[in-house]
Structure 1
Amino acid sequence: MAFRKFLSALGVNAPEVETVLDRDAYRPGERANATVTLRGGGADVEIARLGLDVVTRFEDMEPVEGEWTNPGVVVSQTVAEGFELGAGREHVLQVPVDLPWETPLTHVLGGRRLRGGRVAVRTELSIDGAVDRGDFDEFAVHTLPAQDLVLAAFGDLGFRFDEAEVKKGTPKQSVASRVNYWQEIEMWFPPEYGYTGAQLEFVFNAREDAMDLLFGNAGRLTLAYAGLDAERCRSEIDAYSRSLFQR
């Protein structure tokens, strides 16, 4: 269970917010259920907005490699707004959060940590024009079964993982993206491709019944989930990637 608690920096005796997720790991397209508890401080206050964000690390928004201080938003929703919170009073709200199919991955292949993949929940409280966004409370996003098949196929074909990066915008090859970011997965080419020391970069453009593998500006391979198995996945990726890249 992911759990976060922060004592707001909005002043002495300010309200306190506590957020608990029903699980500590999800998959893209699933619903996360959050319990948000708001406790009044030493005086009555008017809450302008209580919001809940799912955030990720945008590589191109951070000045230092590995730093995470300026996150990008995956989901943003208002939990409550325009109400009075009495001193010492408590409000408990149940908040469903639907994760996009393109939610950045943090774990792959049965639980292996994906370097560069970070996702968190962040609770925002606004009072009298002041905003406290609190700290990040990270949780895991595991691959869809079909995504694991793809990653296992790349491994079987000799590709080696490096890292993942989330960038702002929409991939040029995308035809079904509903978000304003993409997660780029980087892998080293195997020797037979003739790209010594070079990387293959691709993006999962997932949806309910299928996904596209976006190879930068080079091409797009669509894989339907129905009937997808390891052999078919490996065969299609091998043929397509060799047609694009092998020298």
Structure 2
Amino acid sequence: MAFRKFLSALGVNAPSVETVVENPKVNPGGTLRVVVTAVGGAADVDVERVRLEVVVRAEDREVNGDKTAWKHPYTVVTAEIAGFRLLAGETVTVRGEVVLPWEMPLTHALGAPITGGRAAIRTELAVDKSVDQGDFDEFEVHALPAQDAIVQAYTDLGFRLHEAEVKIGFLPTLAPRMKSQQTAQYWQEIDFFYPERLQWGKAELETVFVAREDSLDAHPGGNPPATFVYDELDQQAWTESLKKHVATYVSSLA
């Protein structure tokens, strides 16, 4: 997917820019690669910098209940490409990379979209002292194998994946038991419908993943985390471990 946008800050006959995401399906901790093509307008200009912003849909910034639309994205991580001289009518192509954080919010799990999960790359150019923010290109953030294994474990236990919401800030420290290892200034809640057999007084169980390079924590329902090490991935064992952990807080699951 690509977009072409004329730089409105420079008026008529301005340069235009097109951004292409080379790998629109990535995982947390992965590298997003983009190609930015600028086409000169009627006059020579200095492109002082190209700023790449990875943005996500954040619940805190939306004013309505639409889980798919987003108007006020939240910036997760940025990278910059060095500036260049763009002559009138000239085409200049530059490449850039953005390394995604391990705690990057997901848009997909088990290969399927998650309602409410959206991510995009936004291109901003600083040209002749003017800053012009381009439109953004969406891309997919697929769960790590370990995250997929936890989602599959919930599914095997009878839970159904519902939606995801990104919250800005740090996990509420309701009690020391949270033991959160969160480092990012945001978190993503992934909501699961309870199995019909469970009459626990709640419709959904919220789970937060705090991923790292070698392991992840799964916080069910605002409770202490269960930690899973990637090198020890065993679907059956992880499902049993998650069942025992969640059953500590949902007795009827045992």
TM-score normalised according to structure 1 size: 0.91
Partners of 2:150 and 2:220 in 1: CA distance: 13
1:76-99 CA deviation, whole Å, 9 max, x = no partner? 122124x54221223222212111
Match of 1:76 among 75, 78, 81: 78
SS where residue 135 of structure 1 aligns? strand
Q: Which residue of 2 aligns with 1:89?
A: 90
**What amino acid does structure 1 have at the position aligned with 2:81?**
V
Q: Which residue of 2 aligns with 1:184?
A: 189
Partners of 1:51 and 1:90 in 2: CA distance: 18
Taking a change above 3 Å as real, the CA distance of residues 136 and 100 of structure 1, as seen in their structure-2 partners, is same
Q: What are the ranges of 5 or more consecutive residues in structure 1 without an aligned counterpart?
A: none
Are the equivalent residues in 1 in contact too, given 2:180–2:225 (CA < 8 A)? Answer: no
Q: How does 1:65-144 map to 2 (within 5 A)?
A: 65-66=65-66, 67-81=69-83, 83-109=84-110, 111-144=111-144
Deviation at 1:189, TM superposition (A): 1.7
**What amino acid does structure 1 have at the position aligned with 2:80?**
T
Partners of 2:194 and 2:251 in 1: CA distance: 10
Q: Which residue of 2 aligns with 1:5?
A: 4
Q: Which residue of 1 aligns with 2:56?
A: 56
Deviation at 1:227, TM superposition (A): 2.1
Which has the higher mean CA deviation after the structures are superposed, 129-138 or 69-78? 129-138
TM-score normalised according to structure 2 size: 0.89
Partners of 1:26 and 1:36 in 2: CA distance: 19
**What amino acid does structure 2 have at the position aligned with 1:212?**
D
Are the equivalent residues in 2 in contact too, given 1:174–1:214 (CA < 8 A)? Answer: no
Q: Which residue of 1 aligns with 2:167?
A: 167
Are the equivalent residues in 1 in contact too, given 2:55–2:75 (CA < 8 A)? Answer: yes
Deviation at 1:175, TM superposition (A): 4.1
Q: How does 1:220-239 map to 2 (within 5 A)?
A: 220-239=225-244
The runs of 4+ residues in structure 1 deviating greater than 6 Å are none
Deviation at 1:195, TM superposition (A): 1.9
Partners of 2:14 and 2:139 in 1: CA distance: 27
| Cα RMSD for the two superposed structures | 1.9
Q: What are the ranges of 5 or more consecutive residues in structure 2 without an aligned counterpart?
A: none
SS where residue 181 of structure 2 aligns? coil
